[in-house]
Amino acid sequence: MGSVNNPLWKRTARMVLHGMAGLAACRFINRQKFGVLIFHHFREPDLPYLKAICGHLASRFEPMPLSAIVNSIENQTALPSNAITVTVDDGYRDFLVHGHPIFHKYGIPTTVFVVAGFADGRLWLWHDQINHALLNTSRKSIRLALGHRSVEFDLSTDQSRAKAFYTLCEELKAVPNDLRLNVLAQLGKIKDIEIPPEPPANWAALNWGELRALASLDVEIGCHTDSHPILSRLANWRDLDREIRGAKKLIEEKIGKPVRHFAYPNGRFIDIGPAAIRSVREAGYRSAVTCDWGLNSLKVEQLQIRRIPLNFDTEFRYAVESLAGLHLRINGSADFVRSCRKSKTDSCLHIHQ
C-alpha cells in the first residue's frame, strides 16, 4: 500500500471527495456539529475568493449568529444541520469596506471581536507596529535586547524581513508582557525606524460610530481585550481585569449594546491560561473562542470554543474540505498556527511590494 503522502494517493482521494459525493458524506457525518470560522483582514484582491467561500457556505451550510449557537449550547437544543458562524478578529476597518458587504449579500451573520483600545484610538496593534517598522526602515539589520540576551535580525531582503517579523512576534508572545512592551519601546527608538502614533490606512481600526452602525445591522460585536496582550503573560489579576472586564465595559458604553462574546488573543491554550478563563467567566461573557482548530459539539465548554481558519491563500478545495470537517482532527492546533503564520507572512510581503 502506498504512503498517504504519495501524490497519486492524494489525487485519487481528492477525486473521490470532490467527484463522488465524498464531501457531502463528510458534512452528513458532522451535521450535528457546528463550525466557527475566523478571519482578520479583507483586502481587495481577496474578494473573489471570499465570494466563492460565502457562496459555498450559503449553499452547503446553515449560517447562524454566534448568539443563536450559544443559546443552543446553553439549552442543549438541537442546531440546524451543518450550522456555521463567521468571526472576525481585531476590528480592522477593511471589514466594513470589503468584508461586510459580501457577508451581508450572502446572508451570513458575523461577529467582530474588537480590541477596545484600537477602536478607541489609543493604540494600534503591536504586531502591526512591528510589521510597519520592519517594512519601512532602510536598515539592513537591527539588534534588540530580549531580556538577558541580544538578538540580531536580518532585514536585507523581503524574505528576511518577513522572517524577522515572525521570529520577533513569536519571541514576544512567549515573554512577560512588560518585556514585550519594553522591546516595542526599544524598536521605536532605533535610528531610521519610525512607529507613527496612528496606524496607516491599511491597518486602520473601525471607529465607534462605524461599530455602532454595524451593530444595528447583522453584526454582533464582541471583545478581543483592550490592547491585545498574551493573557497568560500578564503580571497580575488587575491587568487581566482591565483587559477583559474593562474592555467589555468600554465597548458596551460606546456601542450601546451588551457584549456577550470574547476572543482570546493568539488563542492557543498556552496563551490563555486558567486565570484568563476564570476572568472571562466572572466578567459575564456567554462564550469565548480560541485558536484551537476544529468543529464543536453542543457539549463544548462555552469559554473554549474551537474555530476554523480560512486564509485567502489557501487552495479553495482544501478550504471546503476543512469546512466539511477534514484536516481538523489530523492537523490540530499546530497546523492552525502554521496556517496563520503563512497568511500573515504573505500579507507582510504583499504590503511591502
Tell me the per-residue pLDDT of 156-193, one tens digit each, with 9 for 90 and over. Answer: 999 999 999 999 999 999 999 999 999 999 999 998 99
- Phi, psi at residue 65, to the nearest 5°? -65, 150
The 10s digit of each residue's pLDDT in 62-85 is 999 999 999 999 999 999 999 999
Closest CA to 258 of 87, 67, 26, 38: 67
DSSP-assigned beta bridge partners for residue 112: 88, 221
For residues 223 and 135, the answer to whether their CB atoms sit within 8 Å is: no
CB 305 within 8 Å of CB 319: no
Could you tell me the CA-to-CA distances from 22 to 15, 26, 32, 54, 314 in Å, in that order? 9, 6, 17, 20, 20
For residue 342, give the 3-state DSSP assignment: helix
**Which pLDDT band holds residue 105 (cuts at 50, 70, 90)?**
very high
Residue whose C-alpha cell is 467561500? 53
DSSP-H helix ranges across 216-291: 237-241, 247-255, 269-272, 274-282
pLDDT digits (tens, 9 = 90+) for 221-231: 999 999 999 99
| pLDDT tens, position by position, 4-54 | 455 665 665 666 566 557 788 889 999 999 999 999 999 999 999 999 999
Straight-line distance from the first to the last Cα atom of the chain, in angstroms, rounded to the nearest whole number: 46
Domain boundaries, the chain: 1-30, 34-115+199-352, 126-189
Contacts of residue 17, Cβ cutoff 8 Å, sequence gap at least 6: 23, 26, 321, 326
Domain topology for 34-115+199-352:
TIM Barrel (3.20.20)
For 202-249, what is each residue's pLDDT tens digit? 999 999 999 999 999 989 999 999 999 999 999 999 999 999 999 999
Element (H, E) at 343: helix 328-352
CB 266 within 8 A of CB 228: no
- In sequence order, the 6+-apart residues with CB closer than 8 A to the CB of 329 are 294
